[in-house]
A and B are shown apart, each in its own frame.
Chain A
Amino acid sequence: MSATTTQVDLETRMSLQDFLYREALALDERRFRDWLEYLAADIRYEVPVRVTREALADWELAPTSRIFDDTKATLEVRVQRLETDFAWAEQPPSRTRHFVTNVVVDPGDVENEYLVQSNCFIYRSRGDEPTPSFYSLFRKDTVRRAATPAGWEIARRWAAFDQSLINAHNMSIFI
């Protein structure tokens, strides 16, 4: 449960928000090697499967089903794949724009970690298709202070689509 008032100082909040914007810029500019630099070595990167359920059901986000269930090593494999000439899903590349808004920062469970919640709206354009795809997600990241140029690293990314039946023939982009 998120606190109802802000417990984190303005400078930290601004710094974390700026960090998320720069991370999104790396993705949208397809600088995937730079993007990996924003991720902690022990990152858990998860996107659960959403199921349409009744209002009072125990869960709507499946406890065991994941669209992405990645570590730093497997995210590196995904990036390495995109660097080959044979990643047909991204030939030609998707043009993405990540709109990150409603950033809410709370103290994390351990010192120097913050729970950073945000809304993420992704515009994706493919080839000469005039109709883009849109995906709306809620993200709950754990971001840690780090001795990296950015000053932060993502220790956990958890992002849930707001759709249960997803309007994408594939998910060859990052969230």
Chain B
Amino acid sequence: MTSSSVDRSLDDELQGIRQGISEGRFPARAFNDQQIYDLEQERLFSRAWCFLAHESEIPAPGDYVTRYIGNNNIIVARTEHGDISANLNMCRHRGNMLCKSEMGNASHFRCSYHGWTYKNSGELIGVPYMKEGYEGRLKRKDWGLVNVRVDSYAGLVFGCLDPDAPSLEEYLGGFQFYLDFYLKQGGEGSEVHGPPDHWVAETDWKICAENFAGDGYHTPVAHQWGFNLGYFPSSGSTHSQGWAASIPGLGHGIGLGHSPNFPPFGGFPDDLAERMRASFTPEQVEVFSQVRTAVGTVFPNLSFLMQPFSLVPGEPGVRFVTMRLYHPAGPGRMEMYSWCLVPKDASQEYKDEAYRAYTLAFGQAGTFEQDDFENWTKVTRAAGSTMVKNVDFPYIMGMESERDKDFSGPGHVVRPYVNDTNFRNLWSRWADYLVGEV
């Protein structure tokens, strides 16, 4: 930590922000501010478990993708032994970018500058003019790629830049119960349908993280056209029904929308639904049977949505799942990665139908996604203006809500679905990191 007066005043301010969150306030400027962005890089993304890839993106030895943790470009590769290794995409000799493509298959990477060569696990194996130039003074084992700690849950590969951070299991802290809905579709789990949509937006990553932590409140207005054309199994009058579940102190949260009369596991083919009933715990079956929409965020910047959707309004439709990563690319600027997850053991026909539902609803040209990003870029723009420096937003929905003790899922669970409880939890975890108390 530096001790400059500017930083001290920001630290003081963050203590005030943290206090405000517990009282139901959050500052608008957080959504577009250089100092806060810098601090997020330094104190949040360098310590939290951050999503890197889904295992199905790199199924075979040598498969790799390049992704980011904070502003660090990372190669995530399946090694010749079948395990997953993540390393900074930078040659240890003079710092050139080693791998310039987003995905591919390679047993090793050779730097295009001086030719240092590494196994995809990061081990340095080749140095030109080793004898003539280094005269035996260079030990290859000392100069492997900068390694990133990885761990995975149900196909999700995470990386963490902090060697002292607790385990991924502890970090997720019970949220796995809900993540299983997205990750364990059918009897064999989920896989990506293909590479993600990838686009830039003048939007702060936190706006997306909050929205997907269970913002049932925006749906009837931001996506009013969908209700208008008869796209939703819920109506404006029943839409608020459901639950908001969060893992206290860890930031993760999920909104579970409920529609009366919506069939349990509706939208899944019967055989897949049967396999899920068999593989989920009784508590998961009980919760999931009541859920129409499940929209959740793994702190800090990974989200999921499961939603029944038909290509043409009024038809039964399918359940599609989208997974999205909000890569912060500057204050008020982000790169969006958006995947569709399909059940591995579904027919190709079902997978393709679920994917088409995804593209029509979400993804860059998705009819719901379009309106979200229009709103979010406008929020971001306003948050960067000078008058906003001392403006807070209200986060007081559900301040008095009693915990729903009859609910079978873990965490702090409240009703209705329209609620700020998940967001207070999300922002207080964010503040914990930013004040340096994680």
Contacts and interface: CB of A to CB of B under 8 A. Distances in A.
B371 A87 contact: yes
A64 interface: yes
A160 B182 CA distance: 30
Contacts of A90: 370
Contacts of B102: 51-53, 164
Contacts of A47: 365
B373 A89 contact: yes
Interface in A117-175: 164-172
A14 interface: no
Contact of B374 (A65, A164, A169): A169
B228 A169 contact: no
A88 B219 CA distance: 13
Interface string B304-321: 000000011100000000
Interface string A45-82: 00101011110010000111111111101100110110
Contacts of A67: 197, 359, 363-365
A71 B373 CA distance: 24
Interface in A6-58: 47, 49, 51-54, 57
A70 B365 CA distance: 11
Nearest to A91: B374
A164 B104 CA distance: 15
Contacts of A69: 355-356, 359-360
A63 B348 CA distance: 14
A8 to B, nearest CB: 32
**Contact-residue size bin, chain A (C-beta under 8 Å from the other chain):** 35 or more
A169 B377 contact: yes
Interface in B296-340: 311-313, 335
**Contact-residue size bin, chain B (C-beta under 8 Å from the other chain):** 35 or more
Contact of A80 (B196, B229, B335, B359): B229
Contacts of A87: 225, 370-371
Give the dominant DSSP class at B's interface.
Answer: mixed
Counting chain B CB atoms within 10 Å of each CB, which of A65, A80, A172 scores highest? A65
Given A68-B359, A69-B355, A171-B365, A63 B194 contact: yes
Contacts of A91: 374
Contact of B197 (A49, A71, A169): A49
A102 interface: no
A93 to B, nearest CB: 12
B380 to A, nearest CB: 10
Interface string B185-202: 000000001111111111
Contacts of A165: 198-200, 335
A170 B360 contact: no
B367 interface: yes
A166 B337 CA distance: 11
B117 interface: no
B100 interface: yes
Interface in B192-225: 193-203, 222-225
Nearest to B334: A169
B360 A84 contact: no
Given A62-B194, A166-B199, A68 B365 contact: yes
Nearest to B335: A165
A64 B193 contact: yes
Given A62-B194, A64-B194, A77-B229, A167 B200 contact: yes
A169 B373 contact: yes
A88 B375 contact: yes
B200 to A, nearest CB: 6
B377 A77 contact: no
Contacts of B104: 53-54, 57
A71 B194 CA distance: 20
B5 interface: no
Contacts of B370: 87-90, 170-172
A51 B194 CA distance: 11
Contacts of B261: none
B199 A168 contact: yes
A77 B198 contact: no
A78 B355 CA distance: 17
Interface of B: 100-104, 193-203, 222-225, 228-229, 311-313, 335, 355-356, 359-360, 363-365, 367, 369-371, 373-377
Given A84-B225, A91-B374, 9 more contacts: A49-B196, A67-B197, A69-B355, A84-B229, A86-B223, A88-B371, A166-B200, A169-B202, A171-B364
| Closest 3 A/B residue pairs (Cβ) | A65-B194, A64-B194, A89-B370
